[in-house]
Amino acid sequence: MASPVAELEAGLQAMSHLKPPGVSGSRISSITALCVGSVQSESVLIQKIYTHFKKTAGDHKLGVLYVVDSVTRKWLERAKSSGQDVDGSATDGTFAAGVHR
């Protein structure tokens, strides 16, 4: 089984080969579920998404933003339900830290 980071990279890379905006609802859901399930690696996941956004062609950037929106909303929802404060004092590897980054 591949690491969550490798799975995320593969999912993001596959978006580049689809027609613009390069994403579907099912792909957004699967990437979001992967990020929620691997929140302990949130700093690496965020960096991978950011790097992919920077190198993605202009006609596919919207798809990456859809992923960012979905992951952020889900992490924020989970942070609130867990009673985590979304601020600079959030512990690394938590939903709150992921949202704050």
Maximum average pLDDT range among 2-6, 13-17, 35-39, 86-90? 35-39
- What would the DSSP string read from start to end of 50-76? HHHHHHS-GGGHHHHHHHHHHHHHHHH
pLDDT in tens, 48-70: 999 999 999 888 899 999 999 99
Average pLDDT of span 81-101: 86
* Beta carbons within 10 angstroms of residue 97's beta carbon: 22
Beta strands in 8-49 (DSSP E): none
Angle subtended by helix axes 42-55 and 61-81, to nearest 10: 160
Token pair in block for residue 20:
């613009």
Residues 23/12, Cβ–Cβ less than 8 Å: no
Q: pTM of this prediction?
A: 0.88
